[in-house]
Amino acid sequence: MQSTTRSRDRCGWKESDYSQGDWRIPFGYDFSRSTSENYRVRHGNINDEDGGRDAGKVSDYYAVRATRDHSYHGHYTRQRQLFQDSLVNNVVGASSRKEHPWIVFTAGAMGAGKSHTINWMSEKGYFPLPDIVTVDPDLFKASFPEWPEYLRHCPDTAGSLTRRESGYLVEIAQEVAMSQMKNIWVDGSLRDSKWYEQVFEDIRKTHPTYRIAILYVHASEEQVLERARRRAEETGRVVPEAEIKDSLYRVPRTVAMLMPRADFVAHIKNDGDQPRLTGFCDWKGCHRNVLGGWNEVKDRFATLPEFSDRTMWTAIVERNISMPGVLVFSKTYCSFCAKLKALLRELRIPFRTEELDKTQGGAAMQLVLASRPTSRCLTVPQLFAGGNFIGGCSDALVLHAQGKLEPLLRAAAGEALRGGEAALAPPAGSAAVEAAERRRGKKKGCVEKAGEPPVDRGDRPPLNRSLSA
């Protein structure tokens, strides 16, 4: 039985902070209206909540925002824009520039198991998420501090009341990622055929180097409805059965219509213990996958050749984790990582940090972390103490509020200190040591890679029109 809880949700996405502090829901916030309506500026310029002309370009993504359809999206207050920027930054920091990048759309009804399938493919190395910008409107929604209250007030409308703002962030993030030539995964149902027909046409015109793929994940109606029911019980978010059945009807028709416009289409059956690639279409035509393997997917999207030596990276990660003391797997652009590290410094807990976006093999190490039975967490931060997985940022904050975090970490830090400086040093052969040795010139013939620049992510394709599905 598949779990409907997303590993990404467990590892920090529940947080609601931005680079200049925690977001506070304003007094008198109206939960009968959408986030877009509550934070929309009724008059004035794009970056000025007071409507003045000299507010300046507050958002880092001012240029992208200026190209959006503001008759639909409206203009957000300056503080809300800063908060939105932090969420976009967390998304777009992944991946690296590609010469001929892919933009991949998942298709399938809610309950088909799209996220489960993609995470499974990532763990196998077929579709390595650490090297792909993930654009998911649901993750943006879950990051809004208003989200839990919407679920509490009326779970039936929580999705619709956060859809417009999350869609706006999708547009921003996707456009930024495409401008940086990164592989992108757009997590959606692909239900609206006319919308996506225009999306594909727009990509061909404005980003001609991009190749377009569709991963169509499907299961029986009975399984889809059951999974949706379980997810509603676990998350509190209810999707009407009529909407799910509408998706079951429309999605395969959209896929059929878009197939000639895509460079690759994979048909994936997700009705058993593991997803199965049942067929695929490319420029040569459509083919049944009689051999049952995943080479057609792997050959196109497996961008981490270093992950072929999985045993080595597993040994490196496990050795790092098993060392005494407190360890944080982090990324330099991640606001949740910054928040967790700030908490540890405030508590004066000594800790080691492995910045995966600056470490050779960091993406491969992240895949190893995602497949560990005791943690199974794809994103960062990941906090370990004395070799034990504590959790992500939200988990640490909960433990801290309960008064349990500091004693736990102090016990692990004390053990490391009793072991002397050797216990606190990174293990020989680790990615951190190799990078340090290259900087000191100890490894001749090795060229150190520059750190990857931050990337941008969005929830929807970069079109100047409303998000309808």
Answer CATH for 310-417 from 3.40.50.720, 3.40.30.10, 3.10.129.10, 3.30.1490.20: 3.40.30.10
Does pTM surpass 0.95? no
Q: Are 234 and 4 in contact (CB under 8 A)?
A: yes
Look at residue 277 in the predicted model and tell me its pLDDT. Answer: 96
Report the relative pairing of strands 102-107 and 211-218 from DSSP bridges.
parallel
d(Cα 101, Cα 89) in Å, to the nearest integer?
Answer: 20
Look at residue 50 in the predicted model and tell me its pLDDT. Answer: 41
| Segments in the chain below pLDDT 70 | 1-22, 43-57, 306-307, 415-469
Q: How many helices (H) and strands (E) does the chain have?
A: 20, 15
Look at residue 309 in the predicted model and tell me its pLDDT. Answer: 82
Angle at 254 between CA 253 and CA 260, to 5 degrees: 105
CA 445 to chain centre: 35
| Selection from 286, 228, 260, 207 nearest residue 108 by Cα | 228
Indicate if 310-417 has the same CATH topology as 35-43+56-301.
Answer: no
462: amino acid identity, one letter: P
d(Cα 278, Cα 267) in Å, to the nearest integer?
Answer: 6
Look at residue 254 in the predicted model and tell me its pLDDT. Answer: 95
Q: Are 460 and 171 in contact (CB under 8 A)?
A: yes
Look at residue 416 in the predicted model and tell me its pLDDT. Answer: 57
pLDDT digits (tens, 9 = 90+) for 129-158: 999 999 999 999 999 999 999 998 888 899
Number of neighbouring beta carbons within 10 Å of residue 256: 12
Q: Name the 3-class secondary structure at 59.
A: coil
Look at residue 302 in the predicted model and tell me its pLDDT. Answer: 83
d(Cα 285, Cα 159) in Å, to the nearest integer?
Answer: 38
Q: How far is the first Cα of the chain from the last one, in angstroms, to the nearest whole number?
A: 28
Sketch the domain layout of the chain as residue ranges: 35-43+56-301, 310-417
CATH architecture assigned to 35-43+56-301: 3-Layer(aba) Sandwich (3.40)
